[in-house]
Structures are given as C-alpha cells and as structure tokens.
C-alpha cells in the first residue's frame, strides 16, 4: 500500500513539474513567446506610421512577447552597391544595415511600417529592403505584418512592394495589414480606430 502511495506521489510530482516547465516556455495562458522586430521607416519620429508602430509594440509587450522597434531615421542606412558581375553585393559598405538584417534573422515576427509618398513606400524603407538582398536566404520562416499610413487612400503599390519582397524569403507568411488612410497631419492618427487595431494585432501576434 505504501509503495502504491509512493508511486502516485512520484507521478503527481512529475506531472506538476512538466506542467510548470511548459508554462515557463509558453507563458501563463499558453502563449508562445515570440521575438518581434518592428521596423519604422518614417522620416518623422512620432509620425503617423511611427505611432502605429508604438501601439503594435505596446500590444506585443503586454502580451508577454520580446518586442523591439528600430527607427531607421536614427541609423545610417546607405544604398546597396553591386559589382557589375554580381560577385560582390556589399562593396565594403560600413553602416547600420547589417545590424538591422541580423535582427531580422533573429526575429520570429517582423513588422514593416511606412508612410505613403507618391502612392508608394518611402525611400528609407525601400533602401533597407534592398540591403537584405545579400542575406535574404537567411531571413526565413518569419511572420510579417505591414503598416502603412497615407493622406489619400492608395496603399496598393506599397503593399505589393512588401509582398514581392517577402516572396523571396523562404517560409515567409503574411499575417496582417494595417492601413491608416485619409490621415494627413502628423499625429492625426491618434484617436483613429486604426490605433486600436495596431495594438490588438500586436497583442495577438
């Protein structure tokens, strides 16, 4: 009888330890903790697309994920240079782009945000995407979210550009799109329902 009680106690202890280990890996509510990288390309810190990035970031952090925002305007990101024979795609460029690419490789979730200029993504974002060219095969199995803000209503070209970009990244998945349209002045996205959408999307990555 004592032996049976001992076996039951040992089994209970094992089951409890296994459950605690599972909780530590996935969080209190079965959450799988993810590494989230948000790339904000707005030329204006605190601009509308940048503010949406902050809401996405807030939601992701509140949900228990490891989240970081990179503001390209704070970095030195230069144009891609390629030899005519394509044997060298870096040409000794010494800037911050490789650090951003390394963060992309390490992330589980990548959020790319841009204001819309001339119906397309801004130059800062396009330059950053071009700099992924050398290591695009390493940016694999990522979940992608796209954030765009525009004074008008046309986000189609920018969205197509993002989708074409991730086509070349192995195992990439588009998970969500946030479009803040009809937003003209800096900061006017505040109070817009799209702010809540960015927060909720970040919380549910």
In a domain, 52, yes or no: yes
- Alpha carbon distance 42, 19 (integer Å): 44
Structure-block tokens of residue 21: 């280990």
Rounded (5°) CA angle 43-101-127:
40
pLDDT digits (tens, 9 = 90+) for 147-159: 999 999 999 999 9
In a domain, 14, yes or no: no
pLDDT recorded at residue 134: 86
Tell me the residue range of the domain where 154 lies: 34-203
Q: Are 28 and 88 in contact (CB under 8 A)?
A: no
> What are the distances in angstroms from CA 98 to CA 47, 132, 160?
25, 8, 24
Confidence tier at 83 by pLDDT (50, 70, 90): confident
In a domain, 188, yes or no: yes
For residue 16, pLDDT beyond 50: no
Share of residues in the chain with pLDDT > 90 (%): 77
Q: Is 43 helix (H, G, I), strand (E, B) or coil?
A: coil
How much is the average pLDDT of 65-78? 97
In a domain, 158, yes or no: yes
Most confident of 14-23, 84-93, 119-128: 119-128
pLDDT digits (tens, 9 = 90+) for 171-193: 999 999 999 999 989 999 999 99
In a domain, 26, yes or no: no
pLDDT recorded at residue 29: 52
pLDDT digits (tens, 9 = 90+) for 85-113: 666 666 678 999 999 999 999 999 999 99
List the CATH number of the domain containing 96.
3.40.50.360
For residue 78, pLDDT beyond 50: yes
In a domain, 24, yes or no: no
In a domain, 117, yes or no: yes
Q: What is the total count of domains within the chain? A: 1
């Amino acid at each position: 009888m004592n032996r049976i009680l001992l076996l039951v106690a040992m089994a209970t202890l094992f089951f409890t330890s296994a459950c605690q280990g599972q909780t530590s890996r996935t969080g209190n509510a079965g959450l799988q903790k993810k590494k989230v990288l948000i790339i904000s390309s707005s030329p204006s810190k605190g601009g509308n697309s940048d503010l949406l990035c902050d809401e996405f970031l807030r939601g992701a952090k509140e949900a228990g994920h490891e989240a970081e925002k990179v503001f390209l305007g704070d970095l030195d990101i230069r144009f891609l240079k390629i030899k005519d024979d394509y044997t060298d795609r870096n040409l000794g460029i010494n800037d911050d782009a490789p650090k951003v690419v390394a963060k992309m490789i390490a992330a589980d979730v990548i959020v790319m945000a841009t204001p819309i200029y001339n119906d397309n993504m801004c130059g800062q974002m396009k330059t950053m995407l071009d700099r992924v060219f050398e290591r695009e095969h390493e940016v694999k199995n990522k979940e992608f979210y796209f954030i765009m803000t525009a004074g008008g209503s046309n986000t189609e070209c920018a969205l197509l550009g993002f989708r074409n970009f991730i086509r070349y990244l192995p195992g990439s998945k588009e998970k969500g799109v946030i479009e803040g349209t009809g937003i003209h002045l800096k900061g006017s996205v505040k109070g817009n329902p799209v702010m809540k959408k960015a927060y909720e999307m970040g919380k549910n990555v």
